[in-house]
Amino acid sequence: MTSVNAQAEPTISQDSAASGVERRAKLHGTIESLVKLRQEVVVSYCNLSGVSSFSNREVEQHSVDSDQLRSFCQIMVDYTAMGHFEVYQRIIEGKERRSAVKQAAAEVYPAIAETTDYLVDFNDKYDAFEGTADDMKQLSGDLSRLGEIIAIRGELEDQILAALKR
């Protein structure tokens, strides 16, 4: 009877291994969700900025309405928050033990933080967007820079995500 109980109760090392596997599976799911959300940001950005195809870009007339901009900003903020709270928080708090992750984060996280500031500032700036001619002119320039920032962030983020997947 004692041997049955001994088999039914996992040892501490078995619990640790199981929780490590569970943490790793959760992390991989979080990474997949973050990448999917980043793709949504890129698609929404393209729709917002009027990029449907490079061949038609010069002849298309495009305008942005406030609901479309707010929707984009919400997706962008969700993506930014997910990266920060679901992926980077552990690194920021110094809880990450893997040297490859710590090294990648040391190299690229400061630049990711700068992109976060830009994304948040963009959201704040266009929170009260009304779509006037002046608003549209300013938005056009800001969208161009925003596209660059999103691309840079994705490249930097991929370096940390690759280290996390190992």
**Predicted confidence (pLDDT) per residue in 10-64, tens digit:** 444 445 555 778 888 888 999 999 999 999 999 999 999 887 655 555 555 667 8
Determine, yes or no, domain membership for 11: no
Q: Would you say 3 and 133 are in contact if contact means Cβ atoms under 8 Å apart?
A: no
**9 pLDDT exceeds 50?**
no
32 HSE (CA, 13 A, CB side): 6
Please count the structural domains in the chain: 1
Determine, yes or no, domain membership for 144: yes
**Predicted confidence (pLDDT) per residue in 66-115, tens digit:** 899 999 999 999 999 999 999 999 888 988 899 999 999 999 999 999 99
Q: Would you say 20 and 98 are in contact if contact means Cβ atoms under 8 Å apart?
A: no
Determine, yes or no, domain membership for 12: no
Can you give the CATH number for the domain in which 40 is found?
1.20.120.1370
Determine, yes or no, domain membership for 8: no
pLDDT of residue 60: 57
Distances (CA, A) of 110 to 37, 92, 118: 21, 11, 13
Task: Report the candidate in 29, 27, 70 with the shortest Cα–Cα distance to residue 48.
Answer: 70
Tell me how far apart the alpha carbons of residues 166 and 164 are, in angstroms, rounded to a whole number: 6
pLDDT of residue 54: 56
Determine, yes or no, domain membership for 90: yes
pLDDT of residue 143: 94
Q: What are phi and psi of 59, to 5 degrees?
A: -100, -10
Tell me how far apart the alpha carbons of residues 164 and 158 are, in angstroms, rounded to a whole number: 10
Determine, yes or no, domain membership for 3: no
Q: Give pTM, 2 decimals.
A: 0.81
pLDDT of residue 84: 92
Q: What are phi and psi of 142, to 5 degrees?
A: -65, -35
Give the domain range for residue 81: 18-51+63-165
Determine, yes or no, domain membership for 10: no
Tell me how far apart the alpha carbons of residues 156 and 160 are, in angstroms, rounded to a whole number: 7
Four-residue CA torsion sign, 119, 125, 127, 132? negative
Determine, yes or no, domain membership for 13: no
pLDDT of residue 20: 73
Least confident of 2-11, 118-127, 155-164: 2-11
pLDDT of residue 132: 85
pLDDT of residue 30: 93
Tokens representing 165 are 């997947």
pLDDT of residue 53: 56
**141 pLDDT exceeds 50?**
yes
